[in-house]
């Protein structure tokens, strides 16, 4: 996509609803902004720059070369200069310079330093929640400066003074209280599993189970909870895979969510949400922990879980494992029989979810599976896939209705790339992409289906 002309303030009004005290207090966040909020926020910034080398370094070394500027889908879509990664980061840098560097303390505005005011906080709230923490900018930065690290720090600082979004805090609260982001209680979980079992029985005639809380199973599968309601074909895909390969497995109603919105709020909640998965795996005495089709879940699991709540050596390696790795291995080993013709008419392309590609390093397995189950697999242009993939436009806690305008604009680079393929099915292992892209397709006038890798695998598996 060609970079747009700058349109200052174009998406300044795209803001998530603010979390009120009913959501802030249960998460241990201040119910109201303290009267000395600047001091609290600056203390938090100081603390974080001592805790994260990434933050300290990335505040210091940016040369503002602009290599990242036209790489962000939110800038490409909105033209708002504050959505250029370098400018987004400068929103925090100018405050860092003002209070923590000699040049900023002495030079003030001349040194591009600025006081932390209500206006600055307001900008932070708008633009650090218009970053999906997708890391595409970092791929192109000559120093690997990852704006996601800056965004996460800014969100953590804001949270420390009681400024957070309703969407993210609501989801985190549900994950703590119920075990999943949708707030599905155990009874409803069991019902849905049973319903899908009946559906599969009707389709295949076989008794394919979706086990719940089954101790001693080989695999604990933790899907995004959306797979049980919105993306049921994905759930059916998992079930058929385990059934066909003869692998015992279970879901857990304690850890019924792979996604981790703590990642979009602060370290404490990232860790706490993550812990449920480890505890469930221990309690159910499984050998393997397999993560379902959720993008940022894969980052939280493969990159952070061992650090946050490990050691994970009670599990068999690789720990944890992604469902696509697991499935690709079973296919390679000939453990499942596939019939490509079941997907005849499907022209598929693969959308790398940002976290799976750039933060989870999984690029080959989903493609390997798709090539095995569909006869017509096509790639989108090379600068829009693999580690250069565009975010769907709703990751990082942006899948809120009130952000629809910036979401649709942010999705445009992905949709444009999709259009070049002639595909009629976009496969992607991420519940957020699956929720966002159908809306974006409709918005941008594209008629195509969006689904999981497991959806197509499930259809091709011979039972």
Partner 1 sequence: MAALIYLSVAVFLLGMGWRVFTWLRAPVPLKIPLTPGPTTAAGVVGRMAGEVFLFRSLFDADRTLWVAAWIFHVSLVLLAVGHVAGLVVPDFAASTLDLTPAQFSHLAYVTGGVFGILAVVPLIYLFIRRFTMERVRHVSTLSDYLALALLFFAIQTGNHMRFMGDLDIVQAREFVAGLLTFRPVPPPHSGPFVAHMLLVCVLVAYIPFSKLMHLGGIFFSPTLNQPNDSRQQRHVNPWDHEASKA
* Binders in 124-163 for partner 1, by CB under 8 A: 135, 138-146, 149
Residue 233 binds partner 1, judged by CB under 8 A: no
Residue 63 binds partner 1, judged by CB under 8 A: yes
Residue 210 binds partner 1, judged by CB under 8 A: no
Rounded to the nearest angstrom, the gap between the alpha carbon of residue 106 and the centroid of all alpha carbons in its chain is 41
Smaller CB distance to partner 1: residue 85 or 224?
85
Q: Residue 86 Cβ, how far from partner 1 at the closest point, in Å?
A: 5
Residue 398 binds partner 1, judged by CB under 8 A: no
Taking a C-beta distance cutoff of 8 angstroms, is the pair 120, 92 a contact? Answer: no
Size of the site for partner 1 (CB under 8 A): 72
Smaller CB distance to partner 1: residue 34 or 107?
107
Q: Residue 71 Cβ, how far from partner 1 at the closest point, in Å?
A: 7
Q: Which residue has the tokens 């197509």?
A: 456
Smaller CB distance to partner 1: residue 94 or 209?
94
**For the stretch 39-76, what's the b/e string if a residue is b when 16 or more beta carbons lie within 10 angstroms of its beta carbon?**
ebbbebbeebbeebebbbebbeebeeeebbbbbbbbbb
Residue 328 binds partner 1, judged by CB under 8 A: no
Among 77, 360, 366, 452, binds partner 1 (CB under 8 A): 360
Reduced to 3 states (helix: H, G, I; strand: E, B; else coil), residue 79 is coil
Site string for partner 1, 339-358 (x = CB under 8 A): ------------------xx
Q: Is cis: bond before 306, omega within 30 of 0?
A: no
Residue 31 binds partner 1, judged by CB under 8 A: no
Residue 381 binds partner 1, judged by CB under 8 A: no
Reduced to 3 states (helix: H, G, I; strand: E, B; else coil), residue 406 is helix
Q: Which of residues 72-91 bind partner 1 (CB under 8 A)?
A: 81, 84, 86-87, 90
Q: Which stretch binds partner 1 (CB under 8 A): 12-20, 36-44, 101-109, 426-434?
A: 101-109
Whole-number Å distance between alpha carbons of 86 and 59: 11
Q: Which of residues 258-317 bind partner 1 (CB under 8 A)?
A: 267, 271, 302-304, 306-312, 317
Q: Is cis: bond before 221, omega within 30 of 0?
A: no
Smaller CB distance to partner 1: residue 62 or 450?
62
Smaller CB distance to partner 1: residue 184 or 220?
220
Among 42, 359, 431, 432, binds partner 1 (CB under 8 A): 359
Whole-number Å distance between alpha carbons of 209 and 246: 11
Smaller CB distance to partner 1: residue 69 or 399?
69
Smaller CB distance to partner 1: residue 301 or 439?
301
Whole-number Å distance between alpha carbons of 285 and 384: 41
Reduced to 3 states (helix: H, G, I; strand: E, B; else coil), residue 310 is coil
Whole-number Å distance between alpha carbons of 190 and 428: 26
Whole-number Å distance between alpha carbons of 440 and 446: 8
Whole-number Å distance between alpha carbons of 384 and 55: 27
Residue 456 binds partner 1, judged by CB under 8 A: no
> CB-based contacts of 167: which residues, under 8 Å, 6+ apart?
16, 17, 397, 399, 400
Containing H/E element for 7? none
């Amino acid at each position: 996509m060609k970079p747009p002309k700058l349109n200052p303030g174009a998406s300044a009004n795209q803001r998530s609803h603010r979390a009120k005290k009913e959501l802030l207090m249960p998460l241990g966040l201040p119910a109201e902004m303290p009267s000395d909020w600047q001091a609290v926020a600056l203390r938090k910034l100081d603390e974080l720059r001592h805790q994260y080398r990434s933050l300290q370094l990335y505040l210091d070394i940016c040369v503002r070369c602009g290599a990242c500027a036209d790489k962000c889908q939110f800038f490409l879509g909105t033209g708002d200069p504050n959505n250029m990664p370098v400018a987004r980061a400068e929103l925090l840098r100018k405050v860092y310079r003002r209070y923590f560097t000699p040049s900023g303390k002495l030079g003030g505005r001349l040194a591009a330093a600025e006081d932390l005011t209500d206006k600055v906080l307001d900008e932070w709230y708008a633009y650090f929640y218009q970053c999906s923490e997708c890391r595409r900018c970092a791929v192109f930065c000559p120093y690997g400066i990852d704006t996601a690290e800056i965004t996460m720090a800014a969100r953590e600082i804001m949270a420390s003074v009681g400024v957070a979004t309703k969407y993210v805090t609501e989801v985190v609260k549900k994950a703590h209280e119920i075990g999943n982001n949708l707030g599905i209680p155990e009874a409803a979980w069991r019902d849905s599993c049973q319903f899908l079992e009946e559906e599969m029985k009707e389709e295949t005639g076989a008794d394919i189970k979706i086990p719940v809380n089954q101790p001693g199973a080989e695999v604990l599968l933790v899907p995004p909870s959306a797979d049980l309601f919105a993306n049921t074909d994905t759930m059916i895909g998992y079930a058929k895979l385990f059934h066909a390969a003869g692998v015992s497995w279970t879901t857990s109603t304690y850890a019924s969510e792979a996604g981790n919105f703590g990642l979009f709020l602060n370290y404490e909640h990232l860790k706490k949400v993550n812990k449920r998965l480890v505890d469930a795996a221990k309690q159910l005495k499984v050998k393997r922990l397999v993560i379902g089709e959720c993008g940022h879940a894969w980052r939280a699991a493969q990159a952070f879980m061992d650090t946050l709540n490990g050691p994970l050596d009670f599990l068999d390696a690789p720990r944890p494992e992604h469902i696509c790795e697991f499935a690709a291995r079973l296919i390679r080993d000939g453990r499942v029989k596939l019939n490509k013709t079941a997907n005849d008419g499907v022209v598929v392309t693969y959308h790398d979810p940002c976290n799976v590609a750039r933060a989870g390093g999984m690029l080959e397995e989903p493609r390997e599976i798709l090539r095995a189950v569909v006869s017509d697999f096509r790639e989108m242009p090379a600068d829009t896939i693999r580690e250069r993939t565009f975010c769907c436009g709703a990751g990082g806690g942006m899948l809120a209705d009130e952000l629809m305008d910036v979401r649709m604009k942010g999705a445009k680079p992905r949709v444009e790339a999709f259009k070049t393929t002639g595909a009629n099915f976009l496969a992607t292992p991420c519940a957020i992409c699956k929720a966002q892209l159908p809306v974006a397709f409709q918005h941008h006038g594209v008629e195509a289906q969006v689904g999981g890798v497991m959806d197509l695998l499930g259809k091709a598996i011979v039972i």
